Structure 1
Amino acid sequence: MESPLRPPADQGFRLIETMLWTPEGGFQRGDVHRKRLAFAARRLGIAPVGAEAALAAFTADGPQRVRLTVNAEGMPEITHAPYSPLPEGTVWRLAVAETRLDADDPWLGVKTTQRQLYDRDRAAMPADVDELIYLNGAGHVCEGTITNVFADLGQGLVTPPISDGLLPGVLRSSLICAGKVRIQHLTLDDLLNAGEIYVGNSLRGLITSVLQGA
C-alpha cells in the first residue's frame, strides 16, 4: 500500500533527528536514530544524500546537542550547540494539553518540521509547567511536546503503543528492545495513580515527573 505521506510544498520542510554526541562515545543511540531517519525518508519518498558521511565527519570539543535535518531533496544539514545535562534531581511538572490528537494522523509517526501544534503549545506553557501531555480522542495518553511518556503502574515501566498516536521515540524504542519497558494503553487515571511517572527522549534520557493536580 502506498504511503499517504508526501513532503509538503513548504520549502522549510525537513526530517529531523536530535542526538547527543560526546567525544568519548560519539552519537548516543546513533544506530537507532539512523534507522528512524531511514524509515521516515522511505515513507515520504525522500532519498537522503550524504547524511551518513556528514554524521561520520562530525567532531567537536565537548558534548554536543546535534540536530540533523534532511530536506525534501535529500540534502542533509547538521547544526549543533554545547550540551548541558539537567541538574541531578530534576523533576518536571506535567500538565494535560487541551488539544486531543488524532491517533490515525500519519504525521504523528515521523519526526519532521510538521509539528506546529507542539511548537505552539510548548511556547505557550506557563512558567510552572515543564511539559504538556497529549491525549487522543479515546482518552488514551499519547506523548509530550518533546518527549514520550512512561509510567510505573506496579509491574515495571509501561509506555503507550504507537497506534495511540505518537512518535516512535529513540529512547522509547531502545528501552522496549532492552526489555526495560512494556507497551500498554495508558489513561489519565493511570498517570494519576502511577507509582512513578517519567517523560524522556534520546537527548535527555528519562526525567522524573509529576502530574500537576495529582
Structure 2
Amino acid sequence: MSNVYIWLNGEIVNADGAVIPHKDAGFLRGLGVFDTLLGDQGTPVKADLHFQRLIDNVKTVLLHDLDVSIDRFTAMAEELLQKNELTDGKARVRTQVTSGLTAELLGKPIKPLIMMSAVRAEIPETPTPIHLKIVRDFPRIANCIYDNCKRLDYSRSYIAKQKALALGGTDALLSNTEGNMACATTSNMFIREGDVYITPPLSDGVLNGIARRGFIAQTNAREESISEERLMAADAVYLTNSILGIRQVASINDKEFTGSDAVAA
C-alpha cells in the first residue's frame, strides 16, 4: 500500500484501501459539491471561509444540513496534512460531499459521503503566462444560484478549456447566458480600469470564490457586469483562485495586455 491517506466518512484511511460504493449518487449522477483550499506549511489557509462555503453549498445543492462543524473539518485538514507529510511547502486540500446512497433515483441524501484528500501543490515560482480564448458555446447561467456553488460537474469547464487549447490558448474565458463575460474555467475574473477594479456579480453566474472575496476586499473592487467590449478595453485583467492566487492575464484572443502590476505580484 502507498503512504497516502484520505479522510473518508469520519476516518483517516489509506487511500489504496478506500472504498466508495458503486451506487454513490455523486459517482452515478454528479450529485455533490466540493472545496479546494491551500495548505501552507501544514496550515489550511482560510479554512473557516472554505468550510463554511462547503456547508452552505451542501445545503443549497443537496438540500441537506451537514452534521460536521467547521472546526471538525479544519482539524481533519490539519491531521491529513501531517499524516501525508505535507507540512513543508504548499499543498492542495480537497473536500467533497456527495449525496451518498439514496433511496430513490433522485432522492435526498440519507447519509452523505464525505471525503477529504491532501496532495502536494506544484506552484511554479515563475507563473506560466495566461492566454485566454473567449468561449461562448458553453455559457454560465445568469441568476442561477447553483452556478455560484462548487458542484462536482465540471463538464462545461472541461470542454471549454479543450476548445481554448485547440485555439492556441492556455485557458477559456466563459460568457454567460446574457452575453457578458463571466469567468475562466477554474478561476474568477477581474478587470482594471485606471485604478478601479471590477468583477462580475454573483448574479452573472460566477463562482462565489474565496480568493474572489479576498481580492474584492483588497482592491475595493466593484461588482458590475462586464461586456466583451469593456473587457477588451480594460487596462489589465486578472484571474484569482485559492491555490494559484492572483495572476495577471497576458492576452485575450488577439489582444495583449502588457506591463506588470504590483497587485498580482
Instruction: Give the shorter-chain TM-score range.
Output: 0.7 to 0.9
Which of 88, 96, 103 is equivalent to 2:126? Answer: 88
Is contact 1:18-1:67 (8 Å) kept? Answer: yes
Aligned to 2:252: 211
Cα pair distance change 1:71/1:168, threshold 3 Å? same
Is contact 1:109-1:166 (8 Å) kept? Answer: yes
From the two aligned structures, give the one with the greater helix fraction. 2
The within-5 A match list for 1:123-202 is 123-126=162-165, 128-202=168-242
Note the alpha carbon deviations across 1:63-90, whole angstroms, 9 max, x for none: 2111111122333211222112134253
User: Displacement, 1:91?
Assistant: 2.1
Separation in 1, partners of 2:214, 2:165: 31
Which of 105, 117, 120 is equivalent to 1:79? Answer: 117
Which of 6, 30, 55 is equivalent to 2:77? Answer: 55
User: Displacement, 1:163?
Assistant: 0.7
User: Displacement, 1:8?
Assistant: 7.6
Aligned to 1:98: 136
User: Displacement, 1:171?
Assistant: 0.4
Aligned residue type for 1:65: R
Separation in 1, partners of 2:30, 2:79: 25
Separation in 2, partners of 1:135, 1:18: 23
5+ long unaligned stretches in structure 2: 1-24, 100-110, 256-265
Separation in 1, partners of 2:128, 2:165: 18
5+ long unaligned stretches in structure 1: 1-6
Separation in 2, partners of 1:83, 1:115: 20
- 1:40 equivalenced with 2:80 (yes/no): no
Which of 101, 118, 133 is equivalent to 2:157? Answer: 118
Is contact 1:140-1:185 (8 Å) kept? Answer: yes
Is contact 1:15-1:41 (8 Å) kept? Answer: yes
Q: TM-score, normalised by structure 2?
A: 0.70
Which of 71, 86, 109 is equivalent to 2:148? Answer: 109
- 1:64 equivalenced with 2:91 (yes/no): yes
Is contact 1:151-1:194 (8 Å) kept? Answer: yes
Question: Who wins on radius of gyration, i.e. which is larger?
Answer: 2
User: Displacement, 1:140?
Assistant: 1.4
The secondary structure found in structure 1 opposite 2:59 is helix
The secondary structure found in structure 2 opposite 1:203 is coil
Cα pair distance change 1:211/1:156, threshold 3 Å? same
Q: TM-score, normalised by structure 1?
A: 0.85
Is contact 1:107-1:114 (8 Å) kept? Answer: no
Count of residue pairs the alignment pairs up? 207
193-202 or 100-109, larger mean C-alpha shift: 100-109
Aligned residue type for 2:175: L
The secondary structure found in structure 1 opposite 2:48 is helix
Following TM superposition, where does structure 1 have runs of at least 4 consecutive aligned residues deviating by more than 4 angstroms?
none
